Structure 1
Amino acid sequence: METPERGLLARLDGFFFVLAGLAAVYLAYLTLREGITPGWPMLLVVVFWVLVSYLVLPRVHRILSRVYVPDYFIGRTRTADGLLGDPVNLALMGSPTQVHHALRAAGWTRADDLSLASGWRIVTSTLTRRSYPQAPVSPLFLFRRRQDFAYQQEVDGSPSQRHHVRFWACPDGWFLPGGLRVDWLAAGTYDRSVGLSLFTLQITHKIGADVDIERDHVVATVTAADGTATVRVLPDFFTGYHSRNGGGDLIETDGHLPIIDLSRVDVAGAPEAALPVVRIGRPVQTVVGSLMTSVRGIVYAALSSLALIGSRDADEVTAATSVLLALVLGLGALGDLVLAAATFAGHNWSRLLLCASSVLGVASVVAERLVGNLGGPLHEGLLPLATSVLVLLALSSDSAREYALGRRRRRPAPADQPS
Structure 2
Amino acid sequence: MPTSSRSAAASDRLSLALAGASLGNMNPSAPRARSPRSRLIKPVMVVLALYILGAYLLAPALWRRHERADLAHHDFLTRTTAGIPGDPINIALTGKVPQLLRAMQAAGWSPADPITLQSSVEIGLSVLLDRPYRDAPVSTLLYDGRRQDLAFERLVGGSADRRHHVRFWRIAGDGNDLFLGAASFDRGVGISHLTGQITHHIAPDIDTERDGLMQALAAAGAVTNRSFVPGSGPTLTGRNGGGDPYVTDGDILLASLVDGPRPQGQPQPAADPWWMGLRRWAWSVVASLARRLL
Same-fold call, TM > 0.5? yes
Q: Show the counterpart of 1:259.
A: 254
Using a 3 Å threshold, how does the CA distance of structure 1 residues 200 and 131 change in structure 2: closer, same or farther?
same
Deviation at 1:46, TM superposition (A): 2.2
- The alignment's C-alpha RMSD in Å is 2.2
What's the CA shift for 1:268?
11
Say which SS state the counterpart of residue 82 (structure 2) adopts. coil
Shift of 1:39: 5.7
Picking from 56, 59, 70, the partner of 2:58 is 56
Structure-1 separation of matches of 2:156 and 2:262: 31
User: Residue type of the partner of 2:241?
Assistant: G
Contact 2:220–2:261 (Cα < 8 Å) also in 1: no
Name the larger-Rg structure.
2
1:221 aligned to which of 200, 204, 216 = 216
Take 1:103 and 1:258, find their aligned partners in 2: how far apart are those partners?
A: 16
Q: Residues 297-337 of structure 1, C-alpha deviation per residue, up to 9 Å, x if partnerless?
A: xxxxxxxxxxxxxxxxxxxxxxxxxxxxxxxxxxxxxxxxx
The superposition leaves residues 149-203 of structure 1 with CA deviations (integer Å, 9 ceiling, x where unpaired) of: 1000000122100000000011558xxxxxxx96110000000010100110011
Measure the CA separation in 2 of the matches of 1:267 and 1:225. Answer: 6
- Cα offset, 1:267, TM superposition: 7.1
**Which structure shows the higher strand fraction?**
2
Q: Distance in 1 between matches of 2:223 and 2:56?
A: 46
Contact 2:220 2:262 in 1 (8 A): no
Higher relative contact order (CA 8 A, sep 6+): 2
| 1:101-120 correspondence runs (5 A) | 101-120=102-121
1:328-366 superposed Cα distances (whole Å, 9 cap, x missing partner): xxxxxxxxxxxxxxxxxxxxxxxxxxxxxxxxxxxxxxx
> Post-superposition shift, 1:65?
1.9
Distance in 1 separating the partners of 2:143 and 2:48:
34
Aligned twin of 1:125: 126
Q: Is the partner of 2:52 in helix, strand or coil? A: helix
Distance 1:58 1:51 in 2: 10
The AA in structure 1 aligned to 2:51 is W
Query: What is the TM-score normalised by the length of structure 1?
Result: 0.50
Segments of 5+ residues of structure 2 without an aligned counterpart are 1-38, 264-294
Cα gap change, 1:40 to 1:255, in 2 (>3 Å) = closer
| 1:81 paired residue number | 82
Deviates more, 1:47-56 or 1:200-209: 47-56
Match in the other structure for 2:20: none
Structure 1: runs of 5 or more not aligned: 1-37, 174-180, 270-419
CA 1:228 to 1:207, structure 2 compared with 1: closer, same or farther past 3 Å?
A: closer
Partner SS, residue 183 of structure 1: strand
| Pair 1:240 & 2:242 matched | no
1:100 deviates by: 0.7
The change in CA–CA distance for 1:188 and 1:59 in structure 2 (over 3 A counts) is same
Distance 2:249 2:226 in 1: 17
Specify the code of the residue in structure 1 equivalent to 2:47.
V
Amino acid at match of 2:171: C
In 1, Cα distance between the equivalents of 2:71 and 2:172? 21
Write out aligned runs for 1:396-411 (5 A). Answer: none
